[in-house]
Amino acid sequence: MYRNSLFVLLWLAGLSPVAVAQRTAQGPAGRPLTVSVFSHGISLPTVTPQLTSLNPGLRIGTEIYYRNRRRSQLFQTLNAGGYLHKNLQNALFATTELGYRKFIGGFFVEGMLGVGALGASYWLKQYQPDGNGGYQAASPFVVKAVPTVSLGVGYWFTGGSPVSVFVQESAFGEVPFGFRGQPVLPHAALHVGMRMFFNQNQH
C-alpha cells in the first residue's frame, strides 16, 4: 500500500525512471514561460519580513539561453510584474538578469544578477517646487533604475512537457535613497513559481 503510494508520488514528481531517462544531453529548447507569485518586503534579503507581512506580487517572464546543457545553464531572464505593498507603495517593474543554473539530478540552484526599472506609486504625498519658493502637489509616482540579485532552488520535472518549480529570494534596491544616511532602499521578494516550456523541440 505505502510502497504503491510512494511510487505514484515519485512518478508525479517526475522521478520515474522513464522521466529521468528522457532528460536530454542538453537542456530544454525553446523559451519558457516563468510565472511566480511573491511576497514583497522593504528589507534586506532575509525571508522573515516577507513571511510575517504579506504584500502580494506577481511576476511573469521568460529566459534566453546562452548555454543550455544538461548539468548547467547560462541564461538571461526578461521579467515584468507588480506588487502591492500595503504600507508604502504599489509598483510595476521590468527587469533583466544574467543567470547561472546548476543541476544536481532533478534539483537545481540558480543565481542571477541584473538591472531593471521600477515604477512605484507611494502612499505618501509628494510635492515639488512651484518655482516661487514654495511647493505644490506632485504625483506620488516615481520611476527608478534598480539593480537586482536573486538566488533560488528548484526542481526540474522532465518529460514530454518540462516544468520546473522553484523558490527564489530576489532583492533589488532603489538608489539613491535619503534616509539616515542609508544610500539604498532595499526591497526583497520571496517567490514561489514555475517554469514551463510550451514549444519544446529537442536539439
Partner 1 sequence: MKRRYLLLLSTLVIACQTEEVPQQQAGDCAPDAYAQHAKHQTYQAELAQYRSATNAPGSLMRIVRQGEAIWQGVAGQSNLEHQTGFRNCDQFRVGSITKMFVAVAVMKLKEQGKLGLDDNLVQVLPDKAGNIPQADHITVRQLLSHTSGIVDPPNASMSYQLNIVSQAAAHYNKSVDQLLTEYVYGKPLQFTPGTGFSYSNANYWILQQIIEKKTSKPLQVVLNEVIFAPLNLADTYLERRDDRNVVRGYADLYGNGKLFDVSSWDRAEDDGKAAGGIISTAADLTAFMNGLFGGKLLSAASVSEMIDSVKLPACPNGDCEYGLGIEKWFTGAGIAYGHNGGSVGFEANLLYFVHNKGIFMLYKNNGNGSDKRLMDRLMK
First and final CA of the chain: distance in angstroms?
Answer: 40
Q: Is the peptide bond before 176 cis (omega within 30 degrees of 0)?
A: yes
How many whole angstroms separate alpha carbon 94 and alpha carbon 146? 10
How many whole angstroms separate alpha carbon 198 and alpha carbon 196? 6
How many whole angstroms separate alpha carbon 41 and alpha carbon 86? 10
CB of 29 or CB of 80, closer to partner 1? 80
CB of 26 or CB of 62, closer to partner 1? 62
CB of 159 or CB of 176, closer to partner 1? 176
Q: How far is the CB of 109 from partner 1 (least distance, A)?
A: 27
Which ranges of the chain does DSSP label H, i.e. alpha helix?
Answer: 2-12, 17-22, 48-52
CB of 15 or CB of 58, closer to partner 1? 58
Q: How far is the CB of 192 from partner 1 (least distance, A)?
A: 20
Q: How far is the CB of 171 from partner 1 (least distance, A)?
A: 12
* Residues in contact with partner 1 by the rule CB under 8 A: 41-44, 49, 53, 82, 85, 87-92, 119-129, 133-142, 144, 174, 176-182, 185-186
SS3 content of the chain, % helix, strand, coil (to 5): 10, 60, 30
Q: How far is the CB of 198 from partner 1 (least distance, A)?
A: 16
